[in-house]
Structure 1
Amino acid sequence: MCGIAGIIQLNDDRSHLSKIEEMMARAAHRGPDGQGVFISGKVAFGHRRLSIIDLTDSGAQPMSDELNQYHITYNGEIYNYLEIKQQLVKYGYSFRGDSDTEVLLTAYRHWGEACVSKFNGMWSFAILDCVRNIVFSSRDRIGEKPFYFHRSPEQFLFASEIRQILPEMLRITGNRAMLDRFLFGVSGEDFSDTFFKGVHKLPAGHNMVFDLFTDQMRVYPFYNLEETKVSVPQTFEAQAEAFQELFSDSVRLRLRSDVTVGTCLSGGLDSSSIACMASSYLSETVAQPFKAITAVSTDRSRDESGFAKVVAEANGLELHLIKPEYDQFRSKIRNVVKAQEEPFGTASIFMQYEVMSSAKANSIKVLLDGQGADELLLGYERYFAPYMQQLIRRRKFKQLWQQAKNINANNAFVSFAGLAKYYGYFNSSSIRKWRLRQKFHFLPFSDVISQQVESYALNSRDLSDLQRSEITHSNLPPLLRFEDKNAMWHSVETRLPYLDHRLIEFCLSLPVESKIAHGWTKYILRHSMEKKMPEEIVWRTNKFGFEAPQSSWVQAHTPEMLKVISSSLLVQTLLASETHVKQAVLIPELLWKLYIISLWEDEFKVTDIA
């Protein structure tokens, strides 16, 4: 994993291409192992290298083919690069080194833009194709790796991080629509916009072709979850066997590395399953124990470290425990805002930041993590409500009653009343809009907010639609953004086995009853792991994750938060009056969000909003 950047000059002044060096310097943390620049005609590519596969100079970037017709700057990992390389060798290609970068570039030479359909991995890259006189760019199917861009009359810029682009913009303006959505809490991520006006994202699963003759760009999708239904076995036992094979192979591929690989371990089902699978594979080839990092919460009622210790002991893991305290939070929160580049809604992002810091301190250059399992396997308790509604529509009342009793028994934080309230609130856009207007009466309720509420309510009526929405838009994308920024700030690569596209397609094609059964979420995963992990992990009735003790930290930090908010011009613009600001900070979630917006404004010199 690395950092990339590029400039395409749209006028005759080529002197600006030298700024590629400055753009790469701003992302030095993403690639401390090397830097490279390539300039040809009106195009400049830059690269910062984090060496993971093929640590020799043959893996350095930007990389060119032997005929100097194709040039690439690339961030990510193609996990099946060895298999693709074997195919390409059969077609007559030869290779100078052992990097996945060279395989990617050669795959483009052979298959053209269709090469991305061959990849199992995470990526964002740009290829200068001198034969067609284009720059071809792509972002992986789910959006694990970022690709930001900005266009002005003079130049087109792209980069791994927003900070690489901002100094080249005339003014730094906040995106009003994104800030409003953030404050109302109605949407996780926009497909193409960021919190900075004029800075855009290449959407996940999309390619971009920039024509160097005409300076026109074309963005198009190469992957669509709506079109990915695959055939699955008829019986649950056969489905579980197929799931286990895919999951196991996904973990195996993500262990390919020439540096140390470890794992995040919360003690929950998702991360524990990865740790179990990975340690089993590595024990066959590596003498040292597999390393895991766990964050201990100072809030004992939300602390999972005891479960992580059980998993570590059962699998012979080398467990590293960290325990972030309030004083660390107070001294580092501005660093987290700087690393994240865009506002974030909870202090749990700080816990993840500290986990990545520990990985770097312990020389763990690659970390596996469990992002995506909840979205794929209906792991959040909130999925119970539309599931029960689905049973009602099918008139399966006996099954509904039995499932309701099982759900209540097997989930510590779920009640009948809570399920009914959740379903009524999120499935009725009119009720939710009324509640949001009442709660946030001091904020303008725009058409954008109304549309987001209506869209979520519509998707919530069907579990398949809700799953796809949460994977592509409302839940997973911001989690991927948080993870990439936190990890790369510490020069750590994270890999996410649950987001193997084969596993995603299989899980989305499974019947609901294979994912929610007998009152359990993620049933097929529990069933697959019950003979491999301790029972108290597989059949846990509570779930936390790396949660921060937010309420106690915010309470201790409130005087400082109010001081920062009071000096924010953006907050005054967003809330229109001092009276509204005073009303807003009485709501804990808004106190936090306004504080983060204020820090973000200060860190990135945001002058206004539009």
Structure 2
Amino acid sequence: MCGITGILAFNEIGRINLANLEKATHTLAHRGPDNQGIYSTQSVGLGHQRLSIIDTSSNGNQPFQILDGRYVITFNGEIFNYQKLRKELLSKGIQFKSDSDTEVLLHLFAQEGKDCFNKLNGFFAFAIYDSLENSLFIARDRLGIKPLLYFYDDSKFLFGSEMNAMLSYDIEKEIDQEALNYYLQLNYTPSPLTMLRGVKKLEPGHYMTVQNGQISKHQYYDVPNDNLQTSPLNYHSAKTQLQNLLEKSVERRMIADVPLGCFLSGGIDSSVITSVASGQTQSLKTFSIGFEENHFFDETHYAELVAQKFKTDHTTFKLTNEEITNHLSSIIDHIDEPFADSSAIPVYLLSKKTREHVTVALSGDGADEIFSGYNKHSAWWKMENNWKFKTLISLINPVAHFLPKSRSGALSNAARQVERFANAMKMNATDRYWFLASFTSQTQVNQLLKHPLNNYSQRNSWMEPMTDVKSINDLLRLDTKFVLPNDMLKKVDLMSMANSLEVRVPFLDHELVDFVFSLPESMKLNGSIRKKILQDTYRSILPVELYNRPKKGFEIPLLDWLKTSLSGELNEHLFDKEKIISQGLFNWSEIERLKKQLFSRNPEDTHARVWGLYVFQKWHSKYL
């Protein structure tokens, strides 16, 4: 796991930017503190910050060259089947000078070019320079586990793991108004957009080629479409196949030359990963995080039950409000563009504390998206299949309408969900999905912005899969392509790499993902039972207490914090009339209205909107 950046200059103006390569590389030092490497010629520069995981010797340092320097790579990620690929290459007479997966990847590319993706099992973002062709090849893994940004104009092509690196090349810093519009709705910016005009994210499963100033982008992988192919397996056989694939996935991700552990939240997903990993090592270290002053959000009791069951070396970190406040500046400082999923806060602190014990951690991310783990999935199914649910929601909603709504208590959260689902039932599939993915409506965003967006073509492109919904798998497929890489995986990458911790996600092994998307929706969702096949496969293995309890996700008491320990920060950066007016982006009257609602008895999701604006303001102050 590392940080990468680079530049390919098209002319003399572009070559001037080569002077910024070392500065750009250094901005990624937190992603890879073990070594910094630079490769530079008159027209190209590659930078690398290394976090040593496999072959920790200097032989694995990057940028890495082969064939007398024809091919040079800077690579972020891991190739889990590199040992098998190495044997195949050795049989063809290839000689190696390291034991790293980096060298295997580069030789494989030299042999097979873009077809190398067919053989890769792993997660990655990499750039390969061909000095003979003076061309650059960049790529991102199938599911978008690792990030890759790029920028180009008439004089140069730039790439980097984070926005910080891109800004080091002195590109123009202009807010992308379309990106701002979607950020205010979603609290993150989906690819290919970023908050800066001209800087783009390479989409998952894509690669780009750059040569002679010509740039082309291609897709090499897409999440399988259940409507095209369905698994012929019966339920029992499917459970067996799932268990086999997951065990192989975890086994691949246990390969490391440094200490390895596992995140353990106490939910089904991380508990399943822990159960499998504990069977493949004598002493598995597991880590969980809880909130000492807010028991509604604390699920460490369940994590400890799992740890006892599988005899792991378990550590529980209990956070206080003061500790969280003290780390807030560091957390936001590592957000390279506005990103306001507030669960990034505990992920950062869990990563920071876990890094004191291990260098690699397994996580349960991805299971909710591919198996159907969210409330919206079961609600969607009931909207389409259960008239009793629709009738009940319609009857309860008038009462729920008058109840306080927030995520900070069981009753208020239930009232919030009832009203949300009542509104969603009236919509078509496309509008419903966008509504359930958003914290803020387009109308509310238009009221907030000084210059509202008029063209929603990018949103229409993202939502195109919802125009012909045939099963819940269509919903899951879009979650896996849209929410997973842009929100969940970005959060984990940013917060773990801020602490030089590599996080591996066994549920997102592409062989497992392809299999799960071949299964019919009935194996994943049956009424109120979410992730059915995953739960049933491990029901006899996991503690019984994990089943039939409310799903909370990795949520935090954000509303309480904003009204108490963070109120001073809000007053300084967001609730400042003079600052908002001079900035020229937002209408002060709407900011003022949000402040009043935040401190009212019925905050609803206002805390998420306020947090998103606060994070944006902090980012804007730092970079613009």
TM-score between the two structures when normalised by the length of structure 2:
0.86
- Please name the residue that 1:24 is paired with: 25
Q: CA deviation at 1:599?
A: 0.7
- 2:159 corresponds to which letter in structure 1? F
Cα pair 1:189 1:475 within 8 Å, conserved? no
1:51 aligns with 2:52: yes
What SS does the corresponding residue of 2:319 show, helix, strand or coil?
coil
The correspondence for 1:380, drawn from 374, 381, 388, is: 374
**Structure 2: how far apart are the matches of 1:450 and 1:110?**
40
- 2:194 corresponds to which letter in structure 1? T
- Please name the residue that 2:195 is paired with: 195
- Bigger mean CA deviation after superposition, 348-357 or 526-535: 526-535
| 1:226 to 1:568, Cα distance in 2 relative to 1, 3 A | farther
1:552 aligns with 2:560: yes
**Structure 1: how far apart are the matches of 2:334 and 2:521?**
38
**Structure 2: how far apart are the matches of 1:460 and 1:558?**
44
1:207 aligns with 2:212: no
Cα pair 2:359 2:502 within 8 Å, conserved? yes
The correspondence for 2:503, drawn from 485, 494, 500, is: 494
**Structure 2: how far apart are the matches of 1:62 and 1:486?**
25
| 1:169 to 1:152, Cα distance in 2 relative to 1, 3 A | farther
What SS does the corresponding residue of 2:274 show, helix, strand or coil?
helix
Q: CA deviation at 1:73?
A: 0.7
Cα pair 1:233 1:239 within 8 Å, conserved? no
Cα pair 1:571 1:598 within 8 Å, conserved? no
**Structure 1: how far apart are the matches of 2:309 and 2:49?**
39
- Please name the residue that 1:503 is paired with: 512
- Please name the residue that 1:152 is paired with: 153
Within-5 A mapping of 1:196-345? 196-211=196-211, 214-226=212-224, 232-283=231-282, 289-297=283-291, 298-345=293-340
- 1:220 corresponds to which letter in structure 2? H
1:69 aligns with 2:70: yes
**CA displacement, residues 437-487 of structure 1 (integer Å, 9 cap, x when unaligned):** 665562355345697489386477742221111111134422111111111
**Structure 2: how far apart are the matches of 1:502 and 1:119?**
11
The correspondence for 2:614, drawn from 561, 579, 595, is: 595
- Bigger mean CA deviation after superposition, 49-58 or 231-240: 231-240
- Please name the residue that 2:447 is paired with: 442
**CA displacement, residues 138-184 of structure 1 (integer Å, 9 cap, x when unaligned):** 11011111111122333221111110111323432222222222222
**Structure 2: how far apart are the matches of 1:352 and 1:485?**
9
Q: CA deviation at 1:531?
A: 2.3
**Structure 1: how far apart are the matches of 2:274 and 2:533?**
18
**Structure 2: how far apart are the matches of 1:489 and 1:430?**
36
Cα pair 2:188 2:339 within 8 Å, conserved? no
Cα pair 2:278 2:312 within 8 Å, conserved? yes
The correspondence for 2:363, drawn from 360, 369, 389, is: 369
Q: CA deviation at 1:11?
A: 1.5
**Structure 1: how far apart are the matches of 2:389 and 2:499?**
49
**CA displacement, residues 231-261 of structure 1 (integer Å, 9 cap, x when unaligned):** 6343100000001111111111011100011
| 1:244 to 1:328, Cα distance in 2 relative to 1, 3 A | same
- 2:303 corresponds to which letter in structure 1? A
**Percent of residue pairs bearing the same amino acid type:** 29
Q: CA deviation at 1:591?
A: 2.0
The root-mean-square deviation of aligned C-alpha atoms, in Å, is 2.9
- Please name the residue that 2:80 is paired with: 79
- Please name the residue that 1:542 is paired with: 550
1:99 aligns with 2:100: yes
**Structure 2: how far apart are the matches of 1:77 and 1:45?**
19
Q: CA deviation at 1:219?
A: 0.8
- Bigger mean CA deviation after superposition, 420-429 or 28-37: 420-429
**Structure 1: how far apart are the matches of 2:297 and 2:326?**
23
Cα pair 1:158 1:165 within 8 Å, conserved? yes
Q: CA deviation at 1:301?
A: 1.6
- Please name the residue that 1:3 is paired with: 3
**CA displacement, residues 510-549 of structure 1 (integer Å, 9 cap, x when unaligned):** 0111111363111111111122221112x23212233211
Cα pair 1:384 1:419 within 8 Å, conserved? no
Cα pair 2:5 2:158 within 8 Å, conserved? yes
- 1:573 corresponds to which letter in structure 2? G
**CA displacement, residues 537-586 of structure 1 (integer Å, 9 cap, x when unaligned):** 2x23212233211121111022430221126458952323x323212333
Cα pair 1:570 1:598 within 8 Å, conserved? no
Cα pair 2:177 2:453 within 8 Å, conserved? no
Q: CA deviation at 1:206?
A: 0.5
| 1:450 to 1:34, Cα distance in 2 relative to 1, 3 A | closer
Q: How many residues align?
A: 581
Cα pair 1:385 1:422 within 8 Å, conserved? no
Cα pair 1:9 1:42 within 8 Å, conserved? yes
**Structure 2: how far apart are the matches of 1:105 and 1:2?**
16
**CA displacement, residues 407-457 of structure 1 (integer Å, 9 cap, x when unaligned):** xxxx99879956852641554667988x93665562355345697489386
- Bigger mean CA deviation after superposition, 450-459 or 497-506: 450-459
- Bigger mean CA deviation after superposition, 512-521 or 199-208: 512-521
What SS does the corresponding residue of 2:271 show, helix, strand or coil?
helix
- Please name the residue that 2:600 is paired with: none
Q: CA deviation at 1:58?
A: 1.5
**CA displacement, residues 52-96 of structure 1 (integer Å, 9 cap, x when unaligned):** 001112211111114322111100001111111122222222222
- Bigger mean CA deviation after superposition, 59-68 or 102-111: 59-68
- 1:467 corresponds to which letter in structure 2? L
Q: CA deviation at 1:224?
A: 1.5
**Structure 2: how far apart are the matches of 1:121 and 1:327?**
39
Q: CA deviation at 1:589?
A: 2.8
What SS does the corresponding residue of 1:526 show, helix, strand or coil?
helix
- 2:207 corresponds to which letter in structure 1? N
**Structure 2: how far apart are the matches of 1:465 and 1:200?**
26
| 1:321 to 1:398, Cα distance in 2 relative to 1, 3 A | closer
Cα pair 1:385 1:419 within 8 Å, conserved? no
| 1:246 to 1:426, Cα distance in 2 relative to 1, 3 A | farther
**Structure 2: how far apart are the matches of 1:583 and 1:168?**
39
| 1:27 to 1:469, Cα distance in 2 relative to 1, 3 A | same
What SS does the corresponding residue of 1:174 show, helix, strand or coil?
coil
**Structure 2: how far apart are the matches of 1:448 and 1:302?**
39
- 2:298 corresponds to which letter in structure 1? D
**Structure 1: how far apart are the matches of 2:67 and 2:457?**
54
Q: CA deviation at 1:40?
A: 2.9
Task: Please list every run of 5 or more consecutive structure 1 residues that lacks an aligned counterpart in the other structure.
Answer: 284-288, 402-410
What SS does the corresponding residue of 2:556 show, helix, strand or coil?
coil
What SS does the corresponding residue of 1:340 show, helix, strand or coil?
coil
**Structure 2: how far apart are the matches of 1:436 and 1:24?**
39
- Bigger mean CA deviation after superposition, 364-373 or 11-20: 11-20
- Bigger mean CA deviation after superposition, 412-421 or 374-383: 412-421
What SS does the corresponding residue of 2:123 show, helix, strand or coil?
strand
Q: CA deviation at 1:27?
A: 0.9
Cα pair 2:262 2:363 within 8 Å, conserved? yes
Cα pair 1:353 1:487 within 8 Å, conserved? yes
- Please name the residue that 2:532 is paired with: 523
